[in-house]
C-alpha cells in the first residue's frame, strides 16, 4: 500500500510539474537582407527589447540571410523547427509583393506556410535623389524625369522584387514612364541609398527606415514620402499625394513570423513580448526616428494573420493596376 501511495504521489507530482519554460535557449531573429537596411535596423531595435520582454532566458540575436529581397530567407524559415526559437522579421517585399509580382510566384504561401506572431509597424517609402539632382520639389523631380532621355536616369533598389523596386516601377508607371529607367539592384537598402549618395545612381524610392539617417545628414535629398500623410519625424518632407500625384499611397510594413504550426502557447508568449516591446516609450521613439511607426491597432496572432491576408490582396490590386511583373 505504501509503495502504491508513493507511486501515486510521484505520478501526481509529475502531472502538476510546470512545462519547460520558453524560451530555453537563444532565439534567432532572421532578416532576409544584408546589414544596414530598414529591416535590419528595425530587427536590431526590436531584438534589443524583445529578450527582456520574454524574461528569464530571453535572448534574441539577429541573423542576416540576404537574397532576393527576403524570398530566400522566407523559404528557409518555413522548413525550420516550429519551437519558437527561430523567427523572422519580414516586410511587405517577401510576403505581399513578391507572391503577386514575381513571375511564377514564390515557393511559399505567405499565409498558410507560416505562423504569424505580431505586426511591428509601418512606414512610407521615400523618393530620394542625389543632392545635385536638378530639382528638389516633387513637381521639379517629376518634370526632370519626364524630360530625361531614355536610359539617362538609372534608379537604385535594395534588390529585384523588393519594395523599393516595385515602388520605383509603380512611380514610373503612374507617370507614364514605365520601363524607361535602368534598374540597378543592390543587396540592401543601406547600399542602395549609399549608391545614390555617391551618384552611382540618380534616384530611387527607398524604405524610409533605410534612408532616414542619410536624409537627415543631407547625403541624399528626401523629395517626398509615399503615404497619404507626412511622417511625424520628417514633417517638412511632403507627400506625393499632396499635389504631385493625388491619391498615391504605398507603405511598407514589418512583422514577426515563425515556421508553420508553432504551438499556440509559444506563439502567444512571443506575441505578448512583441506587443510589450513596441509599447515601451523609448523603443517607440527610436522606431519613429528610424522611420517606422509602431503598430497601435489590434495585434493578436489572429489579427496579424488577417493583416497578412489583407495586404496580400491589396498588393495584388497594386500589381494588377500597374502591370508591373518582376523576374525572380
pLDDT 10s digits, 47-101 = 999 999 998 778 999 999 998 889 999 999 999 999 999 999 999 999 999 999 8
**DSSP symbol at 95:** I
pLDDT of 41 higher than 60: yes
Say yes or no to pLDDT of 323 above 60. yes
Domain check: are 108 and 135 in the same one?
no
CATH code where residue 262 lies: 3.40.190.150
Last residue of a domain, one of 215, 242, 269: 242
Cell of 270: 512571443
Query: Does residue 296 share a domain with residue 260?
Result: yes
What per-residue confidence (pLDDT) applies to 319?
A: 87
- Which of the listed residues 216, 242, 268 is the one where a domain comes to its end? 242
Report the pLDDT value the prediction gives residue 160, as an integer from 0 to 100: 84
21 — pLDDT class (breaks 50, 70, 90): confident
Structural domain includes residue 90: yes
224 lies in some domain: yes
pLDDT of residue 161: 82
* pLDDT of residue 3 exceeding 70: no
Q: What are the contacts of 292-295 at 24+ separation with CB within 8 A? A: 292/38, 292/42, 292/120, 292/121, 292/122, 292/123, 292/208, 292/209, 292/254, 293/121, 293/122, 293/123, 293/231, 293/232, 294/120, 294/121, 295/118, 295/119, 295/120, 295/121, 295/122
Length of the chain: 328
Cell of 8: 501515486
Q: What is the mean pLDDT of residues 149-154?
A: 90
Within this chain, do residues 268 and 307 fall inside the same structural domain, yes or no? yes
Q: Number of helices (H) and strands (E) in the chain: give both, helices first.
A: 12, 10
Average of per-residue pLDDT values in the chain: 91
* 163 and 225 share one domain: yes
Q: Report yes or no on whether pTM surpasses 0.85.
A: yes
Buried b (16+ CB within 10 A) or exposed e, 296-306: eeebbbebbbe
Query: Is 257 within a domain?
Result: yes
Please say if the pLDDT value at position 14 is more than 70.
no
Q: Is residue 17 part of a domain?
A: no
Residue 67 lies in a domain: yes
Residue 326: band (very low, low, confident or very high) from pLDDT cuts 50, 70, 90: confident
What is the rounded CA–CA span in Å between residue 253 and residue 181?
Answer: 26
Report the domain count for the chain: 2
Please report which confidence band the pLDDT of residue 328 belongs to, taking 50, 70 and 90 as the band edges: low
Reported as a pLDDT band with limits 50, 70 and 90, residue 283 is very high
Please list, in sequence order, all residues whose beta carbon lies within 8 angstroms of the beta carbon of residue 67, skipping any fewer than 6 positions away. 32, 73
Out of 218-222, 257-261, 278-282, 324-328, least confident range? 324-328
- Is there a single domain that holds both residue 63 and residue 34? yes
Average pLDDT over residues 301-315: 97
Q: What is the pLDDT of residues 111-148, one digit of tens each?
A: 999 999 999 999 999 999 999 999 999 999 999 999 99
214 near 220, Cβ under 8 Å?
yes
- Residue carrying the nine cell digits 507614364: 176
User: 17 pLDDT band (50/70/90 cuts)?
Assistant: very low
Domain end point (choices 224, 242, 260): 242
Q: What is residue 100's predicted lDDT score, i.e. its pLDDT?
A: 93
Q: Where are the alpha helices (DSSP H) in 175-263?
A: 189-197, 208-217
> What's residue 15's pLDDT?
37
Question: Does residue 297 sit within a domain?
Answer: yes
Report phi then psi at 157, rounded to 5. Answer: -145, 170
Judge whether 15 lies within some domain: no
- pLDDT tens, 176-214? 998 899 999 998 899 999 999 999 999 999 999 999 999
Question: Stretch 231-252: mean pLDDT, rounded?
Answer: 94
Q: Does residue 18 belong to any structural domain of this protein?
A: no
Write out the residue range of the structural domain in which residue 199 sits. Answer: 124-242
Q: Can you name the residues that pair with 254 across neighbouring β-strands? A: 91, 121
Which backbone phi and psi does 223 adopt, to 5 degrees?
-90, -50
Question: In the numeric block, which cell numbers belong to residue 280?
Answer: 515601451
Give the three cell numbers for residue 209. 527606415
What whole-number distance in Å separates Cα of residue 79 and Cα of residue 121?
A: 26
pLDDT bracket for residue 2 (50, 70, 90): very low
Whether the Cβ atoms of residue 95 and residue 112 lie closer than 8 Å to each other: no
Amino acid at each position: 500500500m505504501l509503495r502504491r501511495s508513493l507511486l501515486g504521489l510521484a505520478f501526481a507530482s509529475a502531472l502538476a510539474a510546470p512545462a519547460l519554460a520558453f524560451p530555453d535557449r537563444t532565439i534567432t531573429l532572421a532578416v532576409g537582407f544584408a546589414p544596414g537596411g530598414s529591416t535590419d535596423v528595425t530587427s536590431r531595435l526590436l531584438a534589443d527589447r524583445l529578450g527582456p520582454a520574454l524574461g528569464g532566458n530571453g535572448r534574441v540575436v539577429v541573423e542576416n540571410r540576404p537574397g532576393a529581397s527576403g524570398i530566400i530567407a522566407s523559404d528557409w524559415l518555413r522548413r525550420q523547427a516550429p519551437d519558437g526559437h527561430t523567427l523572422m522579421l519580414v516586410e511587405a517585399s517577401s510576403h505581399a509583393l513578391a507572391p503577386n509580382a514575381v513571375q511564377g510566384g514564390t515557393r511559399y504561401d505567405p499565409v498558410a506556410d507560416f505562423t504569424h506572431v505580431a505586426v511591428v509597424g509601418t512606414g512610407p517609402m521615400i523618393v530620394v535623389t542625389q543632392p545635385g539632382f536638378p530639382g528638389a520639389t516633387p513637381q521639379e523631380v517629376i518634370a526632370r524625369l519626364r524630360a530625361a532621355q531614355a536610359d539617362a536616369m538609372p534608379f537604385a533598389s535594395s534588390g529585384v522584387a523588393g519594395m523599393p523596386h516595385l515602388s520605383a516601377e509603380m512611380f514610373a508607371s503612374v507617370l507614364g514612364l514605365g520601363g524607361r529607367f535602368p534598374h540597378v539592384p543592390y543587396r540592401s537598402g543601406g547600399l542602395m541609398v549609399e549608391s545614390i549618395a555617391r551618384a552611382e545612381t540618380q534616384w530611387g524610392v527607398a524604405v524610409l527606415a533605410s534612408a532616414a539617417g542619410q536624409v537627415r545628414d543631407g547625403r541624399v535629398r528626401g523629395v517626398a514620402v509615399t503615404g497619404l500623410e507626412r511622417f511625424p519625424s520628417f514633417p517638412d518632407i511632403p507627400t506625393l499625394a499632396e499635389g504631385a500625384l493625388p491619391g498615391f499611397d504605398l507603405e511598407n510594413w514589418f512583422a514577426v513570423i515563425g515556421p508553420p504550426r508553432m504551438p499556440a502557447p509559444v506563439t502567444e508568449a512571443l506575441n505578448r513580448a512583441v506587443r510589450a516591446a513596441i509599447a515601451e516609450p523609448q523603443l517607440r521613439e527610436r522606431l519613429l526616428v528610424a522611420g517606422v511607426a509602431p503598430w497601435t491597432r489590434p495585434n493578436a496572432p489572429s489579427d496579424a494573420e488577417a493583416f497578412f491576408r489583407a495586404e496580400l490582396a491589396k498588393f495584388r490590386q497594386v500589381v494588377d493596376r500597374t502591370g508591373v511583373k518582376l523576374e525572380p
